[in-house]
Structure 1
Amino acid sequence: MPVLTINPFLVSVIIPTYNASQYIVQAVESVWQQTYQNYEIIVVDDGSTDDTVERLKPYLNHIYYIYQSNQGVAVARNRGIEVAKGEIVAFLDADDYFLPDKLAAQVALFSTQPSLGIVHSGWRRVDRHGTPLMDVTPWEKVPQLNLESWLRWKPVLPSAMMFKREWLIKVGGFDKRFPPAEDTDLVLRLALMGCEACWLLEVTVCYRQHPGSAMYKGLPQARSLAAVMDNFFSLPDVPVSIRLIEKRVRYNTLVWIGWYLHSTGHPKEMVEFLQKSWDYSPYRPVETVINWVESFAQFYQERGEEMDAQKFLKKRYWQKLMHWTLTVGLNSKK
């Protein structure tokens, strides 16, 4: 006789969407194609004005569709958490899509490690058409997921993660004050509360890169991440061990923001954030400038791109920044 397999968890897959009609069907169908079948799909339409609902009509009898006025992805995800019936929650942005074993592989880790609150995984960057660009395997750089590593490296991508719903409720869900870095804020607060996390050493989701994705939001993303850092370090229950690395965490975060702004075409604001990083730099002026350049080259390499350092160093804004660091910046620390 065949052995009956009882699925241990109902998984609630929450798909927030806003004007992503060209991608939403692929997202939904990628859930239907999962090898793990004990799930529900909750689509929270955050006030779309395109033809999202028309595209979803053939699926409405099989998904839980919620329409709300436009309030942002944090509110949309929180609405999904509120109505979810599953013990486990998987988020899927409407422009991303799961690979077939995503749910099964992550649920298996929850089954064998009941203390876990988060299971994270790798992701595949694809272009707007779904053509693969590169696989991202963050555990090679960040083997352990704890409060310190979340702070230092911030390897957060909701579509690649799975959460125990009880933890999402306990932490109060996503904070709408920090778009589009509300996901990093959530994970930091969860880690601070003691939520255990581990890696699934597999690529489980395709993360679509296109002009409307969070990766290209430039100034809002930069300012939001900086605000998340300010908020986190203002919390009264941050442990002493984390206080001791605050300056280094702030420095590295501001340098990453500077690179991110450069990569998204905001050189003026790049200069602003690198100047802020100087206040936390553990290096002397010349060493700091060298670290900025080396960090930029590394960040580009991690994204599968090369930086023309010689061309970069000749930019007028960079020349002015170096002059500031060696004069005004140096005097500011005396």
Structure 2
Amino acid sequence: MPRISVIIPTYNCAPYLTESLESILAQTFRDFDIVVIDDGSTDHTWAVLARYAGVATIVRAPHGGLSAARNAGLAAAHGEWIAFHDADDVALPDRLAFQLDFLRAHPAYEAVFCNGEPMDGAPPERRSVIPPAIVRRCLNRRLTAVELFAGYPVYFQGALVPRRAFEAAGPFDPSLRVQPDIEYGYRLFARCAATFVDRAVFRYRWHDTNNSGDRLGGRQDIARILERLLVQDTEAVRAVGRRRVRARLARHYYRIARQRAALGDTPEARAAIRQAAALRPLDPRYQLLRLWAGA
């Protein structure tokens, strides 16, 4: 049984896949296996993967999105530790070695999340994947719902997590197409002592097909996550504050309404305004907009 399973979901990433896989094969830590989930790619991904049939477990699945591919990878993996890796990113050579050594040296933590370096198309002012202001809030402490709510972005391609923690937290939610990591972070951090270390272990590629580029889809996902917190996660809401969660959710519905209106989708824009106003009944801005929405 390998010590670490590296899981690589891929969908139409053929131009980047060879460099990505080679960066894993070049790891200084050697006790690992690779599981690649081809999420129904329609480009020449399968031809690229055929060259790695002898060194990786390759699973071909119908297109179900990132979360479904990750779940398939977890089902096929055998390692004690899980390291996700994105098919368009590049792992730095000592990623696995550094993270495993860190956890051995810090037994109070079960999982570690690290920073990344921007590459290919990143804004010139962006020196790291996780900005310094967020780094300062999260550095060398246990990650909780408070850090997530304050803006900590969960990058699983920069994490090493014990398999048992994923089993405890359950599967990724395939219905969240843009922001599944944030929702999973709330579940994982409640069950696993994870920390953040400001050290780059991967290089993040900016390009037009990044999931994070779907701003409307991302806001809709976050609204669903916050709605779910209010109903299902009393501990997280208590830690953050119910009023703050409701205010954040109202702002997301307001921004969803603006984006829907810009797209000419007036019924959905009005529905989002009504949801924002219901969450903030004493806020005059939302109540005036509610009149426009016809409620």
Q: Same fold (TM over 0.5)?
A: yes
Match of 1:215 in 2: 212
Q: In the superposition, relative to structure 1, how do residues 120 and 267 fare at CA in structure 2: closer, same or farther (>3 Å)?
A: farther
The offset of 1:204, in angstroms, is 1.4
2:55 to 62, 85, 98: 62
After superposing the two structures, state which structure 1 stretch, 76-85 or 144-153, moved more.
144-153
Q: Secondary structure at the match of 1:178?
A: coil
* Residue 11 of structure 2 is aligned to residue 15 of structure 1: no
Match of 1:308 in 2: none
Q: In the superposition, relative to structure 1, how do residues 266 and 222 fare at CA in structure 2: closer, same or farther (>3 Å)?
A: farther
Q: Secondary structure at the match of 1:34?
A: coil
Q: List alignment gaps of at least 5 residues for structure 1.
A: 1-8, 286-323
The offset of 1:156, in angstroms, is 1.0
Q: Secondary structure at the match of 1:124?
A: strand
The offset of 1:112, in angstroms, is 2.2
* Residue 91 of structure 2 is aligned to residue 98 of structure 1: yes
Percent same amino acid among aligned pairs? 26
Match of 1:83 in 2: 76
Contact 2:138-2:196 at 8 Å conserved across structures: no
Where in structure 2 are the equivalents of 1:161-180 lying within 5 Å?
161-180=159-178
User: Could you list the runs of 4 or more consecutive aligned residues of structure 1 that deviate by over 4 angstroms after TM superposition?
Assistant: 128-133, 253-263, 265-269, 271-285, 324-330
Equivalent AA in structure 2 for residue 171 of structure 1: A
Contact 1:247-1:280 at 8 Å conserved across structures: no
Match of 1:227 in 2: 224
C-alpha distance in 2 between matches for 1:234 and 1:139? 30
C-alpha distance in 2 between matches for 1:118 and 1:164? 7
Residues 55-82 of structure 1 show CA distances to partners (whole Å, capped at 9, x for unaligned) of: 1222211111110111221111111111
Q: In the superposition, relative to structure 1, how do residues 329 and 23 fare at CA in structure 2: closer, same or farther (>3 Å)?
A: same
The offset of 1:227, in angstroms, is 0.7
Contact 2:144-2:186 at 8 Å conserved across structures: no
Residues 120-166 of structure 1 show CA distances to partners (whole Å, capped at 9, x for unaligned) of: 11122223599995213432233331222123324211211221111
Contact 2:253-2:275 at 8 Å conserved across structures: no
Contact 1:218-1:260 at 8 Å conserved across structures: no
Contact 2:146-2:236 at 8 Å conserved across structures: no
1:30 to 23, 39, 43: 23
C-alpha distance in 1 between matches for 2:252 and 2:158? 21
Contact 1:261-1:267 at 8 Å conserved across structures: no
Contact 2:81-2:162 at 8 Å conserved across structures: yes
Where in structure 2 are the equivalents of 1:1-334 lying within 5 Å?
10-127=3-120, 133-137=126-130, 138-143=134-139, 144=141, 145-192=143-190, 194-235=191-232, 237-238=234-235, 241-242=238-239, 245-252=241-248, 255=251, 327-328=288-289
The offset of 1:182, in angstroms, is 1.6
Equivalent AA in structure 1 for residue 171 of structure 2: G
Larger Rg: 1
Equivalent AA in structure 2 for residue 176 of structure 1: P
Q: State the TM-score, normalizing by the size of structure 1.
A: 0.72
Q: In the superposition, relative to structure 1, how do residues 42 and 254 fare at CA in structure 2: closer, same or farther (>3 Å)?
A: farther
Q: In the superposition, relative to structure 1, how do residues 161 and 236 fare at CA in structure 2: closer, same or farther (>3 Å)?
A: closer
